[in-house]
Chains A and B, each alone.
Chain A
Amino acid sequence: MTIQDDAERRDLSSGDRMPGGLAPVRGFFEAHRSISVIVGMALVGLALPLVVMLPPFSTFQAGAAWMNNFTLAGVYILLALGLNIVVGLAGLLDLGYAAFFAIGSYTYAFGASPFSGLHIPFWPMLLIGALMAAIFGVLLGAPTLRLRGDYLAIVTLGFGEIVPIVFKNSDTYTRGTNGISSLYPPDLLGYRFSTIEILPFYIVMLLLVTLAMILIYRLQESRLGRSWMAIREDELAAASNGINTVTTKLLAFALGASTAGLAGVFSSAKLTFTGPDQFLFTVSFTVLAMVVLGGMGNIWGVALGAFILYMIQSVLLKGLNQFFDAVPVPILSDIDFVQYQFLLYGLALVSMMLLRPEGLFPSKRRRRELHTAAPGDDAAATPAQEAGGALQ
Chain B
Amino acid sequence: MTTDATQTTDATQTTDTAATGTTAQATPTQAGDAGGQALLRLENVHTYYGHIHALKGISLTVGRQEIVTLIGSNGAGKTTTLKTISGLLRARVGSVVFDGDDISTVSAHELVARGIGHAPEGRRIFSRLTVLENLQMGGFTRNSSEIREDLGRVMELFPRLKERQHQKGGTLSGGEQQMLAIGRALMSRPRVLLLDEPSLGLAPILVQQIFSIIAEINQQGTTILLVEQNALQALKVANRGYVLQTGNIILADTAANLAANEQVRQAYLGEI
Per-residue B-contact encoding for A217-234, CB less than 8 Å = 1, 0 else: 000000100110110011
For chain A, residues 237 to 260, give those with C-beta under 8 angstroms from any C-beta of chain B.
Answer: 237-245
Interface size class of A (residues with CB under 8 A): 35 or more
Known: A223-B140, A234-B124, A372-B171. A240 touches B166 (CB 8 A): no
A244–B110 Cα distance when bound, in Å, is 8
User: Are A243 and B129 also in contact (CB < 8 A) when A372-B168, A379-B168, A390-B203 are?
Assistant: no
With contacts A223-B140, A243-B140, A390-B206 known, is A233 near B148, CB below 8 A? no
Instruction: Tell me if A189 is interfacial: C-beta within 8 Å of chain B.
Output: no
Encode B123-150 as 1/0 by CB contact (under 8 A) with A.
0111111001100111011001001100
Residues of B within 8 A of A236 (CB): 88, 120, 124
Interface flag for A378 (CB, 8 Å): yes
Does A389 lie at the interface of the complex (its beta carbon under 8 Å from any beta carbon of B)? yes
- Chain B residues near A381 (CB-CB < 8 A): 173
Chain B residue at smallest Cβ distance from A233: B126
Q: Does A377 interact with chain B (Cβ within 8 Å)?
A: yes
Q: How far is the CA of A6 from the CA of B120 in the complex (A)?
A: 27
Q: Tell me whether B109 is interfacial, beta carbon within 8 Å.
A: yes
Which residues of B182-241 have CB atoms within 8 Å of chain A's CB atoms?
Answer: 184-185, 188, 203, 205-206, 209
B86 CB-CB contact with A under 8 Å = yes
Q: A244-B107, A244-B109 are in contact. Are A234 and B126 (CB under 8 A)?
A: yes
**Would you give the shortest CB distance from B268 to chain A, in whole angstroms?**
26
Minimum Cβ distance to chain A for residue B201 (Å): 14
> Nearest Cβ in chain A — how far from B119, in angstroms?
8
Docked pose: A239 CA to B170 CA in angstroms: 19
B88 to A237, Cβ gap below 8 A? no
A2 touches B (CB below 8 Å): yes
Write out, one digit per residue, whether chain B residues 82-108 have a CB within 8 A of any chain A CB (1) or not (0): 000010100000000000000000011
Whether B108 and A3, one on each chain, are in contact in the complex, defined by CB atoms closer than 8 angstroms, is no
Determine if B109 and A237 form an interchain contact, defined as CB atoms under 8 angstroms apart.
Answer: no
User: Which residue of B is nearest A366, CB measured?
Assistant: B128
B205 and A243 within 8 A (CB): no
Interface residue A1 (Cβ < 8 Å from any Cβ of B):
yes
Q: State whether A369 touches B128 (Cβ < 8 A).
A: yes
Q: Are B209 and A390 in contact (CB under 8 A)?
A: yes
Contacts of B46 in A (CB 8 A): none
Verify if A16 is at the interface (C-beta below 8 Å from B).
no
How far, in angstroms, from A245 to B165 measured CA to CA in the complex?
A: 26
Question: B residues within 8 A CB of A244?
Answer: 107, 109
Q: A226-B137, A369-B168 are in contact. Are A233 and B160 (CB under 8 A)?
A: no
Determine the distance from Cα of A3 to Cα of B152 in the docked complex, in whole angstroms. 10
CA A169 to CA B120, docked complex, whole Å: 50
Contact B129 A229 (CB under 8 A): yes
Cβ-based interface call for A9 (8 A)? yes
Considering the complex, which residues of chain B in the window 6-28 have a beta carbon less than 8 Å from any beta carbon of chain A?
Answer: none
Inter-chain contact B137/A230, CB cutoff 8 Å: yes
Tell me whether A33 is interfacial, beta carbon within 8 Å.
no
Q: Please determine whether B109 and A242 come into contact, CB atoms closer than 8 angstroms.
A: yes
Known: A237-B124, A378-B166. A386 touches B138 (CB 8 A): no
Tell me if B44 counts as interface (CB < 8 A to partner A).
Answer: no
Q: B157 to nearest A CB, angstroms?
A: 13
Q: Does A391 contact B (CB under 8 A)?
A: yes
Taken residue by residue from 355 to 392, chain A's Cβ proximity to chain B (1 for < 8 Å, 0 otherwise) reads as: 00000000000001100100001111100001001111
A6 near B128 with CB under 8 A, answer no
Closest to B119 in A: A240
Closest to A2 in B: B151
B66-96 at interface with A (beta carbon < 8 Å): 86, 88
A390 contact set on B, CB distance < 8 A: 173, 175, 203, 205-206, 209
Given A240-B88, A240-B118, A390-B206: A1 touches B152 (CB 8 Å cut-off)? yes
CB B197 to nearest CB in A, in angstroms, measures 15
Residues in chain A near residue B108, CB distance under 8 A: 239-240
Complex Cα–Cα for A223 and B144 (A): 11
Across the interface, which residues of B come within 8 angstroms of A223, CB to CB? 140
Q: Which residue of B lies closest to A370 (CB)?
A: B128
B179 to chain A, nearest CB (A): 10
Query: In the complex, what's the smallest C-beta–C-beta distance from A376 to chain B, in angstroms?
Result: 10
Find chain B residues with CB under 8 A from A241 CB.
112, 137-138, 140, 184, 188
B85 CB → nearest A CB, Å? 11
Q: Which A residues between 55 and 102 are near B, CB-CB below 8 angstroms?
A: none
Q: Is A237 touching B126 in the complex (CB atoms < 8 A)?
A: yes
| B109: A residues at CB distance < 8 A | 239, 242-245
Nearest residue (CB) in B for A227 is: B140
CB of B56 closer than 8 Å to a CB of A: no
Q: State how many angstroms separate the Cβ of A298 from the closest Cβ of chain B.
A: 15
CB <8 Å contact, A389 and B160: yes
Tell me, in angstroms, the Cα distance from A386 to B206 when the chains sit together.
Answer: 11
Instruction: Determine if B250 is an interface residue (Cβ-Cβ < 8 Å).
Output: no
Q: Which 4 A-B pairs have the closest CB atoms?
A: A242-B112, A242-B141, A237-B124, A233-B126
Residues of chain B whose beta carbon lies under 8 Å from any beta carbon of chain A = 86, 88, 107-109, 112-113, 118-120, 124-129, 132-133, 136-138, 140-141, 144, 147-148, 151-152, 155, 159-160, 162-163, 165-168, 170-171, 173, 175-176, 184-185, 188, 203, 205-206, 209
Jot down 27 A-B pairs with beta carbons below 8 A, ordered by A. Answer: A2-B148, A2-B152, A2-B165, A9-B166, A223-B140, A229-B126, A233-B127, A233-B128, A234-B126, A236-B88, A239-B109, A240-B112, A241-B137, A241-B138, A242-B113, A242-B140, A243-B140, A369-B128, A377-B168, A378-B166, A379-B168, A380-B171, A386-B173, A389-B176, A390-B175, A390-B203, A392-B159
